[in-house]
Amino acid sequence: MYGRVLIPAAVWDELSQPGMPKPVLKWMAECPSWLQVTNPRSSPDPAMSHLDEGEAHAITLALERRADLLLLDERDGTAVARTLGLTVTGTLGAQVSDW
């Protein structure tokens, strides 16, 4: 569907933690070529300090790159991203409001 997917290093780090489910760790160890680790050029806005680092960096990166779509699964991050004009979807296309 998309030629590439960008994730900030903070998200990579979260998904690579030893406590993650084994399928996630395996996927991260053998990640596809279309997954690219790219950090935002600027720091997240202090107004996002209530979000976890991965979410704040992903939102910042999406804003900088004018992303077509942002994948987030946390309600707070999704609300912030939408107020900033980003189009957001959840894992497997589920809308956070569908939970």
pLDDT in tens, 3-33: 889 999 999 999 999 999 999 999 999 989 9
The answer to whether the beta carbons of residues 25 and 34 sit under 8 Å apart is: no
CA distances for 25 relative to 18, 19, 22, 93, angstroms:
8, 9, 5, 21
pLDDT in tens, 25-69: 999 999 899 999 999 999 999 999 999 999 999 999 999 999 999
27 phi, psi to nearest 5 deg: -65, -40
Which residues are CB-contacts of 20 (< 8 A; sequence separation ≥ 6)?
28
Rounded CA separation 73/78 (Å): 7
Domains of the chain: 5-98 (3.40.50.1010)
Query: What pLDDT is attached to residue 95?
Result: 46
Statement: residue 73 has pLDDT above 90: no
